[in-house]
Structure 1
Amino acid sequence: MWWIALSLLVLIVVIRIWYRLQSGHCTSQKTLDGKTVIITGASAGIGKSTAFDMARRKARVILACRNLEKAQKVADEIIRDTGNNSVIVRKLDTSDLSSVRSFASEIIKTEDSLHILINNAGMAGHHKRESTTDGLELTMATNHYGHFLLTNLLLNLLKKSAPSRVINVSSKMHEYCRKLDPEDLNFEKSSYSIFESYNRSKLCNILFTLELAERLHGTGVTTNSLHPGAVDTEIAYKMGGFAGYAQAFLFKLMAKDCELGAQTTIHLAVSDSVEGISGKYFVDCKETESSKLAQHRGIAKKLWLASELDVKLENEEVK
């Protein structure tokens, strides 16, 4: 039976090498002197790797994270390794709308400009439906609603700083979401599953990007979404259960590392080749078609209106 184990090992190594070799790389050497970047969920995984890259490019980098102690250790590491002292930590829990509002208020008061907003924070979901204090399903709140609200609250600062960019980290898993009812985003009518909640939230990331691009047309602010690929991060471990640990194990063996997984995010943040491009979906640093549902402008508009109501977005908050 040893030959079976050897064959499996060879297959894993071949897949790992092939997947990493064909993955996209950001080739831009652009520096970001005088630019301010916000990255949500930057204390680990893709967000952390993105933060390192932005700091190396001499940007002012704001790590927007839930765990301040963990984030500060990352900030200290970035400062030590890059020599960029303009790396700061701010408290942000995207699942908590009051936290989003507090964070945005502090940014508006303390920052004169914002050139790149990277909505990266996310979670895989819970095995049982869980509601936040705002009455929203937890995965949807973390992955969609928090970033929807945050982006809206910072739009004026982004416009003031134009040309500027908003990057939304989605996932290929959005393709497995076959329908979307804007009146039932939080599984109050439909049955809940950990996979459906994640897939739905990732679909919403792309639809949000689609509608945001239309609303921002002519402002100098562009927005695009992306699939980072299969990446070895903490997200699967945090999901727990057999499926989570099995996925984490496979990703550890064959998936991209975090630095490689961050390449498309970085590409969308800095590359001159995407200047002026907005409302598109990227994989491996290349524009790619999302699912048909993710391209539905009518649903995108309905999602926007439903999201405004669910986060209780007031007119004065976006003036």
Structure 2
Amino acid sequence: MNDRRSFLSSLERLDGRVAVVTGANSGLGFEAACDLAMLGARVILASRNTERNEAAVRKLLSRIPSAQAESASLDLASLASVKKFSDRLAERVSSVDVLINNAGVMAPPDRLETQDGFELQFGVNHLGHFALTGWLKPLLEASPDRGIVIPVASLAAWKGRIQFDDLQSRYRYVPFHAYNQSKLANLMFGMELCRRAMTEGWKLHVRIAHPGWARTQLIINGLGSGTGSLLTRVTELGANVAFRLMGQSAAEGAEPFVYAAASGKAEDGNYYGPTGAGERTGPPGLAAIPPSARHPGIAKRLWDVSERLTGIVFD
């Protein structure tokens, strides 16, 4: 188990900076918010459930009494909610220095849709964050040091495939196939966003991160919650056992996100995760990028489709 104090002391201070973390009322998002607050950032905990958000802020302040922490309502399953959040945030802050796109949905046993008719995992994990980043782009570019965008991917991206002929899983829904596709989309979005920022001169830093195997409620309580086919239930049981026995804590799983945001060694376009065996656990550092994520043509097509589906044009 790596030394948490040593990790935080190796990072740059974020005093006076504004950091937005999605899905921040529990798990990885909450731990990332705590670390950013420890580094002096003013942290916006953005999640769907208002009561849980406010409880998370109280919990954070009890852990770090000197912290600056606020809650904000954000439902990534609704483009209208994403727009409303972005507009309200612009009334509260003049710039955003760090955006961690952490919130996610994992493998519901039945196909569900967002309020806009997207398959839930693709809609929340990818399209919701795509729209959020686009709407917050002016605030990110207003950061004195260029805003840092951190899409959160997963080891599941290695098994992902962007199925342009059925992005919304309307013809065939397999829970983990849809999840893997959404996490590959997160990784490819980050890489394409970085490429465009560099070529178009956008005032953004872009780094990507994944948590490895972290013990969070997404894993322990998710994965279909014991329903669905026999194969789904067996997969769920195996994943739960593996993550419980061999996974790291949520705080450790969040370290690659915070490293990408505050380490002087973090560089644009790089992918960060745990550096132990299989990138499952261990201190943060460079992660391997799946070959499937290294296709610029596919990344561009995914970007174009995402703009069309969300109505967000970054330029």
Asked if residue 279 in structure 1 is aligned to residue 278 in structure 2, the reply is no
- Report how far residue 85 of structure 1 moved: 4.6
Equivalent of 2:74 in 92, 97, 117: 92
Question: Contact (CA 8 Å) 1:28, 1:267: kept in 2 or not?
Answer: no
2:211 and 2:9 map into 1 onto residues whose CA distance is: 16
Other structure's SS at 1:222 match: strand
Asked if residue 66 in structure 1 is aligned to residue 48 in structure 2, the reply is yes
2:2 and 2:93 map into 1 onto residues whose CA distance is: 39
Instruction: Please give the residue correspondences for 1:84-163 in structure 2 after superposition, counting only pairs within 5 Å.
Output: 84-161=66-143, 162-163=145-146
The farther-off stretch of 79-88 and 199-208 is: 79-88
Alignment correspondent of 1:270: 262
Alignment correspondent of 2:242: 250
Higher relative contact order structure (alpha carbons within 8 Å, sequence separation ≥ 6): 1
Larger radius of gyration: 1
Unmatched runs of 5 consecutive residues or more in structure 2: 227-232, 275-283
TM-score normalised by length of structure 2 = 0.87
2:10 and 2:128 map into 1 onto residues whose CA distance is: 30
Equivalent of 1:48 in 17, 30, 35: 30
Other structure's SS at 1:216 match: helix
Distance change >3 Å, CA 235–CA 36, structure 1 → 2: same
The amino acid that maps onto 2:307 is: E
Asked if residue 80 in structure 1 is aligned to residue 62 in structure 2, the reply is yes
Unmatched runs of 5 consecutive residues or more in structure 1: 1-19
2:285 and 2:100 map into 1 onto residues whose CA distance is: 18
1:184 and 1:90 map into 2 onto residues whose CA distance is: 33
Other structure's SS at 1:118 match: strand
Distance change >3 Å, CA 245–CA 26, structure 1 → 2: farther
- Report how far residue 245 of structure 1 moved: 4.5
Alignment correspondent of 1:175: 158
- Report how far residue 117 of structure 1 moved: 0.2
2:76 and 2:170 map into 1 onto residues whose CA distance is: 21
The farther-off stretch of 216-225 and 69-78 is: 216-225
Output one character per residue of 1:123-157: Cα deviation in whole Å (capped at 9) or x when no partner. 11211211222110001111111000000000111
Other structure's SS at 1:63 match: strand
2:194 and 2:273 map into 1 onto residues whose CA distance is: 18
Asked if residue 214 in structure 1 is aligned to residue 195 in structure 2, the reply is yes
1:72 and 1:45 map into 2 onto residues whose CA distance is: 15
C-alpha RMSD over aligned residues: 2.0
Asked if residue 204 in structure 1 is aligned to residue 203 in structure 2, the reply is no
Other structure's SS at 2:151 match: strand
- Report how far residue 184 of structure 1 moved: 2.8
Other structure's SS at 1:126 match: coil
Other structure's SS at 1:267 match: helix
Alignment correspondent of 1:11: none
Distance change >3 Å, CA 22–CA 185, structure 1 → 2: farther
Alignment correspondent of 1:238: 222
Question: Contact (CA 8 Å) 2:105, 2:120: kept in 1 or not?
Answer: no
- Report how far residue 22 of structure 1 moved: 11
Other structure's SS at 1:204 match: helix
TM-score normalised by length of structure 1 = 0.86
1:181 and 1:174 map into 2 onto residues whose CA distance is: 13
Asked if residue 227 in structure 1 is aligned to residue 196 in structure 2, the reply is no
1:261 and 1:247 map into 2 onto residues whose CA distance is: 16
Other structure's SS at 2:164 match: coil
Question: Contact (CA 8 Å) 1:72, 1:89: kept in 2 or not?
Answer: yes
Alignment correspondent of 1:9: none
